[in-house]
Amino acid sequence: MNTTLLSSSENAILSPTENQMLVELLETVKVNTAYFMGYPVSKDFNYEALMPFLQYPMNNLGDPFVPSTYAVGSREMEKEVVQFFAELFRAPADDWWGYVTNGGSEGNLYGLYLARELHPKGMVYYSEATHYSVQKNLHLLNMPNIVISTQANGEIDYEDLENTIRMNRHMPVIIMANIGTTMTEARDDIGKIKLILKKLAIKHYYIHADGALSGSYSALIEPRPAFDFADGADSIAISGHKFIGSPMPCGVVIAKKSNRDRIARSVAYIGSMDTTISGSRNGHSPLFLWYTIKKLGIEGLKARAQHCLETAAYAELKLNEMGIEAWRNNNAITVNFPEPELRIRQKWQLAAEGGWSHIICMPNVTQSQIDELLADLSDV
């Protein structure tokens, strides 16, 4: 093993014990990265070309579309990333805005924040399969909410949603829709939700789509799920470190600019607008997303999505051939199967809930890796 992690001049700052701690951490990270298939994180990226930027304090302070007196950042790339996803998600051509976030949870917080400002007396509806961070966001924003039951596949129960809204139809409706639930990657159909709102004559509503994993690639597959602005969404949040891939957690939130304008305020200190959740924002993350989008383009991203779907189909087939009850939602890259023993869950870092586990066939997952996991399962 190479025990020299830092340059000689930097080595002098750390003791041999401290430097060894870094060496051991790096080795642990390498090993653990090679063996995880239970979480939606891509690891097939190479950003060596962007390494020189790590020498600088890149900070996209304030609104990406408003210049700041702090000029060490990547605003131009961030604007291109936002525009790319706004167009991909069919946002209104003259009414879109967004920014690169620290992750999907921040994007969901932003969508709920806009919804609350537009409908201060609104009731939030979300399914029991919603990501755990949403309840925390609702608590932070002090928003009343009701949990809706789910169908067997993890998708929201539309009958329960309709009946519950009917009982509270005097209140504005705020929907937190899942575009890929945490465990089963079920997608709530925004088209069906819109029909419910129309049937109940709900005039005041807001729909936010949590597309942390599936939102990134749902626009690239056929048939296209009903999840974006053309289908009725008012804002969409995705994660950047999942389908796209990034060495650090990040995300993108897209909203209608007309709604964003309701909460914008000018801040003299930074010479920009205060329109985001955090003040200082990572200026490196937009570079990673921009680099991959430019390198792959739409066709490359479509091929990336197709690879994931083909790997998931292979995993589902092989698990069933082994007599293991495996299933997945339509056009999903998450394959569900009964929770395996602890030894296997720890090795492959497989999440488990309610007796079920899953593997998520991210772009870096190959059929040979699936075969290796299957071999472990057959040894039980």
- For residue range 327-358, what is the model confidence (pLDDT) as tens digits? 999 999 999 999 999 999 999 999 999 999 99
Contact in structure between 90 and 228 (CB atoms under 8 Å): yes
Bridge pairing between strands 145-148 and 97-101: unpaired
Has this prediction a pTM greater than 0.85?
yes
Q: What is the pLDDT of residue 6?
A: 52
Residue 347: closest CA among 373, 324, 380, 326: 373
Residues 68-74, mean pLDDT to the nearest whole number: 92
Q: What is the DSSP letter of 49?
A: G
> Looking at the predicted structure, is the pLDDT value of residue 365 above 90?
yes
Angle (deg, nearest 10), helices 104-118 and 132-141: 40
Domains and CATH numbers, the chain: 18-47+298-378 (3.90.1150.10), 57-293 (3.40.640.10)
Tokens at 334, concatenated: 């998450």
- For residue range 221-231, what is the model confidence (pLDDT) as tens digits? 999 999 999 99
Q: Which residues contact 4 (CB under 8 A, 6 or more apart)?
A: 11
Q: What is the pLDDT of residue 379?
A: 82
DSSP 205-249: EEEEEE-TTTHHHHTTSSSPPS-SGGGT-SEEEEESTTTT--SS-
Q: What is the pLDDT of residue 262?
A: 81
Number of Cβ within a 10 Å radius of residue 181: 27
Q: How far apart are CA 159 and CA 174, in angstroms?
A: 17
